[in-house]
Amino acid sequence: MLKYILKRLALSLLILLGVSLIIYVLIRCMPVDFIENKIAAMNQGGATIPEETVENMKKLYGLEDDSFMGILKGYFNWLVKLCQFDFGTSFKYGAPVIDVIVSKMGVSFAVAAIATIFEFLIAIPLGITAATHQYSIRDYLVTVLVMIGISLPSFFFGQILKNVLAMKLGWFPPSGLIDATQTLSGMALLGDYVRHMFIPILTVVILSIGGRMRMTRTEMLEVLNSDYIRTARAKGLKERVVVYKHAFRNTLIPLVTSLAGLLPSLFSGAIITEQVFDLPGIGNVAFKAMMEADIPFIMGYNMFLAILSVLGVLLADLMYAVVDPRVKLA
């Protein structure tokens, strides 16, 4: 096991090295530039910016050399700092990138974690019942939910829930994280958080359970048609034992595979959902930084997600041995 983990960690470092190079080159080749955006904003205010000032600003932000060798040199400088856990300083927010990520990550993590828990609690049982009652009303209802979850874009469905539950019915606040007009503490503050986060979490849950239900249903149908399931039924085992002890355990392997993307999704933030409901999460912050070509933040944020993705794949591989004793890690 230890040998396997060390091998995968070494491979992960090579993958992250390649990802870092791709991220840096792509970001440096963006058609927009942070300096150009600032100059355009100043020009709109009626100010005239001398060329010398522009050059000084580019030197200040380290963007003066856009040649191949300049980009390559900038990449190695950035890589050395990255190895020292220095993600750079954000142009837009004027603070270390890692500090901005940590300070804004809590909201996104809370929404994603709660939504993921409800997603599993709803999607897996519905997927199982759809498979065990194939072509029944239950199966057709689950299929409709799957189509809704897969087809509806988050900005459209989120806006519908916002208009109905917040604007028309007034049950929940339409946006934000807290009520700025009140000073709350204790359980009252917690209740205010819950009211503000209810619709965003509901949006994420409904739109995410479709894929999980479809995966669970498909894998369960395949397993239920296996020879050993027919043998278990022929022995007179109860249907609940056949479904949950024998069939469901073998459907966990593809579900574990999907967990590889769970770790980065918990911290990446739902960019569109956070935009719709104006949540101060990391997704919303990253979107604004991208729109203003905040190169250090975009590179640091993407490397942060790349590291989480690699760790997620490693954890998923380790989980295979837990859910399936036939899998041996060596």
Distance of CA 154 to the CA centre of its chain: 14
| Full-model pTM | 0.74
Q: Output the pLDDT for position 5.
A: 74
- Does some domain include residue 92? no
Q: Which of 66-80, 108-122, 308-322 has the highest mean pLDDT?
A: 108-122
Query: Can you tell me the distance from the alpha carbon of 16 to that of 330, in angstroms, rounded to the nearest whole number?
Result: 23
* Three-state helix/strand/coil letters over the chain: CHHHHHHHHHHHHHHHHHHHHHHHHHHHCCCCCHHHHHHHHHHHCCCCCCHHHHHHHHHHCCCCCCCHHHHHHHHHHHHHHHHCCCCCECCCCCCEHHHHHHHHHHHHHHHHHHHHHHHHHHHHHHHHHHHHCCCCHHHHHHHHHHHHHHHCCHHHHHHHHHHHHHHHCCCCCCCCCCCCCCCCCHHHHHHHHHHHHHHHHHHHHHHHHHHHHHHHHHHHHHHHCCHHHHHHHHCCCCHHHHHHHHHHHHHHHHHHHHHHHHHHHHHHCCHHHHHHHCCCCHHHHHHHHHHCCCHHHHHHHHHHHHHHHHHHHHHHHHHHHHHCCCCCCC
Q: How many domains does the chain contain in total? A: 2
Residues 278 and 310 in one domain: yes
274 inside domain: yes
For 227-247, write each residue's pLDDT tens digit: 878 887 888 878 788 787 777
Is 26 in the same domain as 124?
no
- The range of the structural domain enclosing residue 292 comes to 104-323
Quick: pLDDT tens for 139-190.
888 788 778 777 878 888 888 888 888 888 888 888 877 776 777 677 877 8
Task: Specify whether 127 is located in the same domain as 78.
Answer: no
CATH assignment of the domain containing 289: 1.10.3720.10
In a domain, 195, yes or no: yes
Q: What is the mean pLDDT of residues 94-100?
A: 84
Q: Can you give the pLDDT at residue 177?
A: 75
